[in-house]
Amino acid sequence: MLEECLLLIPSLFSMVGGVIGYKQYISKLAGISDEKEFLSRSNREFRQFALKYAVIGGTMAGLMGIAAVRISSGKAVPGNVPLLMVIVFLMILVALLSIYFITAGVLHDPRSSARVKKDMIQSMIAAAMAVNAVPIISMGIFLAIIEKHY
């Protein structure tokens, strides 16, 4: 059970770290009313978010690699895996909803131009893909555990 749970910890930390970083990114853009300044600052701030998340995600992927090596030694019990997969699925769902609701303030603001909304939708999709990368990898490892034993 310990080996399988070691996959949850990196998934949780990468998801929480990514959502917090995305929230910081959006909060830095909150008070900007000029479209050109918003788009310029949005690109710069998103690069900073991506760099922060690359460090978090890379570290967590390394921890996940250590867990995968321990699992490959044959100690994993597939009976625990479905519950852990449900937990990871719920983490992915929470991350997606969090990113959407964080971005919704800008998307539904009547002062936001179409260009700003398009830029925010692109940022939201990129952040959702990045934040959920590590949990999706852990889902793949869980599926491999089930496949190996059946």
Give tens-digit pLDDT for 54-103: 999 889 888 888 888 887 776 666 677 889 899 999 999 999 999 999 99
Is 74 buried (19+), middle (13-18) or exposed (0-12) by CB count in 10 A? exposed
pLDDT value for 70: 80
Share of the chain above pLDDT 90, in %: 50
Confidence band of 109 (pLDDT split at 50, 70, 90): confident
pTM of the model: 0.87
Contact 146, 77 (CB under 8 A): no
Indicate whether 34 pLDDT > 90. Answer: no
Between 135 and 75, residue with greater pLDDT: 135
- Domain boundaries, given as residue ranges, for the chain: 2-149
Q: Output the six-digit token pair for 79.
A: 């009976």
Would the CA dihedral through 44, 92, 116, 107 be positive or negative?
A: negative
Contact 112, 106 (CB under 8 A): yes
Residue 22 reports pLDDT greater than 90: yes
pLDDT score, position 77: 67
Mean pLDDT of all residues belonging to the chain = 88
pLDDT at 49: 93
DSSP code per residue over the chain: -HHHHHHHHHHHHHHHHHHHHHHHHHHHHTT---HHHHHHHHHHHHHHHHHHHHHHHHHHHHHHHHHHHHIIIII--GGGHHHHHHHHHHHHHHHHHHHHHHHHHHHT-TT--HHHHHHHHHHHHHHHHHHTHHHHHHHHHHHHHHHHH-
Q: Count the alpha carbons within 13 Å of 82 in the hemisphere toward its beta carbon.
A: 1
User: How confident is the model at residue 1, as a pLDDT?
Assistant: 62
**pLDDT for residue 133 is more than 70:** yes
- pLDDT, position 121: 95
